[in-house]
Chains A and B, each alone.
Chain A
Amino acid sequence: MFLLAFCQRDFVTTRVFMNKRILITGNEAIAEGAIQAGCRFYAGYPITPQNELTAYMAQHMTGAGRVFIQAESELAAINMVFGAAAAGVRAMTSSSSPGISLKQEGISYIAGAELPAVIVNIMRGGPGLGNIMPSQSDYFQATRGGGHGDYHTLVFAPSSVQEAYDLMFLSFDLADKYRSPVIILGDGMLGQMMEPIITKNSKRKTQSYKKSWALTGCKGRRPNVVKSFYLKEGDLEDFNIKLQKKYKAIQQKEERCEKFFIDDAKIILVAYGSMARIAKQAVSKLREEGKKIGLIRPISLWPFPQEIFRRIASSPRCKTFLVIEMSYGQMVEDVRLALNCKAPVEFLGRGGGGIPNEKEIVEKVRSLLH
C-alpha cells in the first residue's frame, strides 16, 4: 500500500483494476475502457449526464504521454480531438445531446480528413436544452452522419456497463482500421448506473496501425498534409467515391447484434441500449407464460445489422416486429428499410425522458398476439 501511494494515479488504476471485478458507473467504465484501449488524448466540456466521464479522465489521464484538457467549448473539444488524431494518437471526446450537436462540424471534418477518433454521446432528452433524463432521440443524428456532407460514422450502442467498457477497445481499433470517427451512443441511464464489470488484462494488445499519414514533422520523409479540402474539379467527387467504398466495406464487415429467443418467435422485439434491457425483461416474462417472443438488439447502429432482418424476412414463417425506442420512432425506419415491406413492423416509443416500461411492452405484445 505504501508503495502504491507513491505511484502515479493511472499506474495504480492499471495495476489494481486488472482482471478485477469492480463496481463502476457507465460513464466511468467508458473512460476506464478508453484508457486501457490506449486513449492518449481526451478533451471535454461539462454537460450532464456524462460529467463523471470527464472527471474520471481528469483524474486518470495523467500518465506520461497522456493529455487531458477541459476545453472552452464543445467546438474546441472536438477540434482538439481533430488535432490529436492528426498527430497520430488515439483521441476521444464525450458529451451529451446538445453538446454533440455542437460537435457535428468537427465530426464532419474528422470524417473528411479520414482521422480516427472516438466520440461518446450519453444521450439526454431534446430538442433544444430538453432535460437531463435518458433518451434515444439522437439516433438519426448519429447514424446519418450528423454534420454536413456524405459521410457516416460507425455507431455502437452498449446496453450494459460491461459492454460499454468492452466496446471502447473495439471502437479505438476500428477507428484506426477505417480511419473514421466512431460514436458510442449511450444514454443517461447507462451513464449513471453502477454495475460490476470485469476489467481486461492490461497485457491485452490493442491492435496497432501504422499511421504514416500523421503529422510528426517531416524528418526523413516528404511533408504530410491533413485536410478535407479538394478544390480541383473532380477531386472531391473522387474522394467521396473512395469514402463510399470504405463505408461499403464497413457495412459488409461490422454489423453486430444480439439475438435472444428469435428462432421460434412469432413476435420479435427490436430495441437497443438501455431500452433493450427492459425489452429483454418483457421477453423473459412472456416466455415464462409460454408466449413465443424474441428480441434482436442491434449493437452496431451504423452499420445497421440488416442481414439478420433480411434472413428472417426471407424465411417462410412471417413474423411481426415490434420496435421499442426511447424516442418517437427513429431506429424503426432502419428496421423497415431492412425488412423492405416483407414483414409487419409495429412501434412503441416514448420521448422527452419517458421510458417504455416492462408493463407497457407486455401489454403491447399481448395486443399484437390477439
Chain B
Amino acid sequence: MEKVYSHPKSLRNVSTHYCPGCGHSTAHRLIAEIIDELDIRERIIAIAPVGCAVVAYDYWDFDCSEAAHGRTLAVATAIKRLRPENIVFTYQGDGDLAAIGTNETIHAANRGENLTVVFINNAVYGMTGGQMAPTTLLGQKTATTPFGREARLQGYPLKISELLAQLEGVKYVERVSLQSPAEILKAKRAIKEAFKNQIYGVGFSLVEILSPCPTYWSKSPKESLDWICNVMSKEFPLGRIK
C-alpha cells in the first residue's frame, strides 16, 4: 500500500513546549511539510524570533539562527544578500514583527528583499505572560489591558499586513487562519506560494497566520478556534491582500 502521510523530514521527532491548542505546532509542521515537498531542506536558513517560538530551531531540522527581538528581518536580509542561493525565511510573532521590529519589517519589505515571512498573529504576547500585542483586539483583556484594550488609551489593532501591502517592494501578502482543517489547508497553500516566490526570485512575500493562544485568551482550544472564526477574523479579514 502507498504511504501518503508521514512525519516530515524537516521536523524533528520531539515533543514541543507549546501549550495544548497552540497554533505554533501546526504552523511549524506546515512549514516543514512545504520544505520537504519543495525539496529545499538543504538550502533553508530560518530565522527564529524572540517569543513563544524562540526555540523553533529545536523542532525544525535545518539551519537556523536566532535574532534579537524584532531584528529578525535585519538578520535575514544580510544572510539572503550574501547567500542568494539559500532559501531564507523568518518566523515572527506579532510583537516581534509589528511592535519592536516594525522598523526592520517595513524597511526589509520596502527594499524588496527576496525573503519569505511567516507572521504568527495571536493577538497577544504569549511567552512573557499574555500582555497586549499591537494586534490585540479592542475590548480584549490581557495582562496589561486588564479592563480590555481601549482605543483612547492603547490605539487600534495594527493591521501591519495591509500597511506592508502598500509598499512597492512587497510582492505577496495573504492572511490565513488555523481555525479549521479547511483553513489550515489554505494556510499551507499560501505559505507554499511565499516560498515559491523566493525560489523564483519574485520578492518579499508575507503570510499572516491567525493562530490560537488558548492559554492567554482564557479559552479552551475549541473556543479559541471559534473565537478566530467569529471575532478575530472579522477584525483581520482572511484572504489575499496583495
Q: Closest 5 interchain pairs by CB?
A: A83-B78, A83-B75, A79-B71, A72-B107, A79-B74
* Cα separation A71 to B108 with both chains bound (whole Å): 9
* Cα separation A247 to B79 with both chains bound (whole Å): 28
User: B86 contacts the other chain (Cβ, under 8 Å)?
Assistant: yes
From A40, A79, A106, residue with most partner B Cβ within 10 Å: A79
* Cα separation A255 to B139 with both chains bound (whole Å): 60
* Contact A87–B71 (Cβ < 8 Å): no
* Contact A43–B65 (Cβ < 8 Å): no
A-B pairs with beta carbons under 8 A, tally: 126
* Cα separation A219 to B61 with both chains bound (whole Å): 12
Q: A223-B64, A225-B64 are in contact. Are A69 and B103 (CB under 8 A)?
A: no
Instruction: Say which one of A19-27, A195-203, A210-218, A334-342 lies at the interface with B.
Output: A210-218
User: A84 contacts the other chain (Cβ, under 8 Å)?
Assistant: yes
User: A76 contacts the other chain (Cβ, under 8 Å)?
Assistant: yes
User: B236 contacts the other chain (Cβ, under 8 Å)?
Assistant: no
* Cα separation A34 to B136 with both chains bound (whole Å): 46
From A80, A229, A231, residue with most partner B Cβ within 10 Å: A80
User: B54 contacts the other chain (Cβ, under 8 Å)?
Assistant: yes
User: A206 contacts the other chain (Cβ, under 8 Å)?
Assistant: no
User: A271 contacts the other chain (Cβ, under 8 Å)?
Assistant: no
By a CB distance below 8 angstroms, the chain B residues around A80 are 74-75, 77-78
Chain A 36-80 per-residue mask, 1 if CB under 8 angstroms from chain B, else 0:
000011010000000000000000000001010101110111011
Interface residues of A in 305-335 (CB under 8 A from B): none
Question: What are 27 sample pairs from A and B whose C-beta atoms fall under 8 A apart?
Answer: A41-B78, A67-B82, A71-B74, A72-B104, A75-B74, A76-B103, A79-B68, A79-B71, A82-B68, A82-B71, A83-B75, A84-B79, A86-B79, A87-B82, A91-B78, A215-B63, A215-B79, A216-B86, A217-B42, A217-B44, A217-B62, A220-B42, A223-B60, A223-B63, A224-B64, A226-B66, A229-B55
* Cα separation A40 to B79 with both chains bound (whole Å): 12
* Contact A73–B45 (Cβ < 8 Å): no
In this complex, how many residues of chain B approach chain A with their Cβ under 8 Å: the count is 34
How far is the CB of A324 from the nearest CB of chain B, in Å?
A: 37
Interface residue from B54, B82, B104 paired with A89 (Cβ < 8 Å): B82
From B48, B62, B66, B106, residue with most partner A Cβ within 10 Å: B66
Interface residue from B66, B71, B81 paired with A227 (Cβ < 8 Å): B66
Q: A216-B83, A217-B43, A229-B54 are in contact. Are A223 and B78 (CB under 8 A)?
A: no
* Contact A73–B66 (Cβ < 8 Å): no
Interface residues of B in 71-99 (CB under 8 A from A): 71, 74-79, 81-83, 86
How far is the CB of B157 from the nearest CB of chain A, in Å?
A: 24
User: A272 contacts the other chain (Cβ, under 8 Å)?
Assistant: no
User: A81 contacts the other chain (Cβ, under 8 Å)?
Assistant: yes
How far is the CB of A211 from the nearest CB of chain B, in Å?
A: 13
* Contact B65–A226 (Cβ < 8 Å): yes
Interface residue from B61, B78, B106 paired with A87 (Cβ < 8 Å): B78
Q: Write the chain A residue with the least CB distance to B17.
A: A231
User: A105 contacts the other chain (Cβ, under 8 Å)?
Assistant: yes
By a CB distance below 8 angstroms, the chain A residues around B192 are none
Q: A83-B76, A225-B64, A226-B66 are in contact. Are A75 and B71 (CB under 8 A)?
A: yes
Q: Write the chain A residue with the least CB distance to B70.
A: A75
Chain B 215-230 per-residue mask, 1 if CB under 8 angstroms from chain A, else 0:
0000000000000000
Interface residue from A87, A91, A229 paired with B66 (Cβ < 8 Å): A229
How far is the CB of B100 from the nearest CB of chain A, in Å?
A: 10
* Contact B68–A105 (Cβ < 8 Å): yes
Interface residue from A41, A82, A218 paired with B42 (Cβ < 8 Å): A218
Interface residues of A in 220-240 (CB under 8 A from B): 220, 223-229, 231
How far is the CB of B122 from the nearest CB of chain A, in Å?
A: 21
By a CB distance below 8 angstroms, the chain B residues around A229 are 54-55, 66
From B62, B74, B86, B104, residue with most partner A Cβ within 10 Å: B74
Chain B 143-172 per-residue mask, 1 if CB under 8 angstroms from chain A, else 0:
000000000000000000000000000000
User: B41 contacts the other chain (Cβ, under 8 Å)?
Assistant: yes
How far is the CB of B73 from the nearest CB of chain A, in Å?
A: 8
Q: Write the chain B residue with the least CB distance to A222.
A: B61
* Cα separation A278 to B61 with both chains bound (whole Å): 57
User: A109 contacts the other chain (Cβ, under 8 Å)?
Assistant: yes
Q: A43-B78, A82-B75 are in contact. Are A218 and B103 (CB under 8 A)?
A: no
* Cα separation A69 to B75 with both chains bound (whole Å): 12
User: A170 contacts the other chain (Cβ, under 8 Å)?
Assistant: no
* Cα separation A19 to B29 with both chains bound (whole Å): 56
* Cα separation A118 to B160 with both chains bound (whole Å): 34
By a CB distance below 8 angstroms, the chain B residues around A82 are 67-68, 71, 74-75, 78
Q: Write the chain A residue with the least CB distance to B86.
A: A217
Q: Write the chain B residue with the least CB distance to A214.
A: B63
* Cα separation A231 to B66 with both chains bound (whole Å): 14
